[in-house]
């Protein structure tokens, strides 16, 4: 479909809770393809959530398979509609970045392992276990659906947020 512009913080849409998707129709499929196209075009992204491209609907894509942190343990391209975390286990702190906050990274503590349920692009109900970097990426993208940025999860904005080095 199309590569979309990423909304940047402090755009108010990024702080809005998204609505569930009721039907998987042509409009929803177009949104999902836009998410995939936008993530792939970025080159360095491992996920994009619908609100980052201006749609307040509960959809994300995640693919850590090309990242050095995720290439050994992943489910490939995950296209998730109405995702929900059912279980969380463990705790891990990692440096996170976000295309909507391009100039900064931050140390965020998240669950090490998760069980997540969602509808795939074809409308099939899926439940997967994810761990490590893939679990972190999924949690990061799902936060966007609830109007949260990684900055909201940082324990101390003065000591745990860092200016990103130029690419």
Question: Is 5 a domain residue?
Answer: no
In sequence order, the β-bridge partners of residue 89 are 113
Query: Per-residue pLDDT tens for 32-72?
Result: 999 999 999 999 999 999 999 999 999 999 999 999 999 99
In sequence order, the β-bridge partners of residue 79 are 61
Domain total for the chain?
Answer: 1
Q: How confident is the model at residue 165 (pLDDT cuts 50, 70, 90)?
A: confident
Kindly state the tokens that stand for 38.
Answer: 């936008």
**For residues 19-42, average pLDDT:** 98
- Share above pLDDT 90 across residues of the chain, in percent, rounded to a whole number: 98
Enzyme catalytic residues: 141
Question: Is 6 a domain residue?
Answer: no
Query: Per-residue pLDDT tens for 126-135?
Result: 999 999 999 9
Question: Is 1 a domain residue?
Answer: no
Q: What does the pLDDT read at residue 26? A: 98
pLDDT at 120 over 60: yes
Question: Is 2 a domain residue?
Answer: no
**For residues 94-110, average pLDDT:** 97
**For residues 89-96, average pLDDT:** 97
Question: Is 19 a domain residue?
Answer: yes
Question: Is 7 a domain residue?
Answer: no
59-62 and 47-49: which strand pairing?
antiparallel
One DSSP character per residue, the chain reads --PPPPP-TT-GGGGSBPBPP----HHHHHHHHHHHHHHHHHSS-SEEEGGGGT--BSEEEE--TTSTTTTTS--SSEEEEEEEEEEEE--EEEEEEETTEEEEEEEEEE-SEEEEEEE-TTS-EEEEEEEHHHHHHHHHHHHHHBT--GGGTBS-TTTSEEEPPP-
Question: Is 115 a domain residue?
Answer: yes
pLDDT at 1 over 90: no
Q: Residue 144 and residue 95: Cα distance in Å, rounded?
A: 17
Q: How confident is the model at residue 166 (pLDDT cuts 50, 70, 90)?
A: low
Full residue range of the structural domain in which residue 54 is found:
12-163
**Looking at residue 135, which CATH number applies to its domain?**
3.90.45.10
pLDDT at 167 over 60: no
The chain-wide mean pLDDT, for the chain, equals: 97
């Amino acid at each position: 479909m199309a590569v979309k512009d990423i909304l940047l913080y402090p755009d108010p849409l990024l702080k809005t809770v998204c609505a569930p998707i009721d039907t998987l129709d042509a409009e929803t499929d177009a949104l999902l393809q836009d998410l995939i196209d936008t993530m792939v075009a970025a080159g360095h992204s491992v996920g994009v959530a619908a609100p980052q491209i201006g749609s307040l609907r509960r959809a994300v894509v995640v693919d850590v398979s090309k990242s050095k942190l995720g290439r050994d343990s992943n489910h490939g391209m995950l296209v998730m509609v109405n995702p929900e975390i059912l279980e969380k286990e463990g705790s891990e702190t990692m440096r996170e970045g976000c295309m909507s906050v391009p100039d900064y990274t931050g140390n965020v503590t998240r669950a090490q392992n998760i069980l997540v349920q969602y509808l795939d692009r074809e409308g099939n109900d899926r439940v997967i276990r994810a761990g490590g970097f893939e679990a972190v990426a999924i949690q990061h993208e799902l936060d966007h659906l609830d109007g949260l940025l990684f900055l909201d999860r940082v324990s101390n904005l003065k000591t745990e947020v860092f200016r990103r080095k130029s690419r």
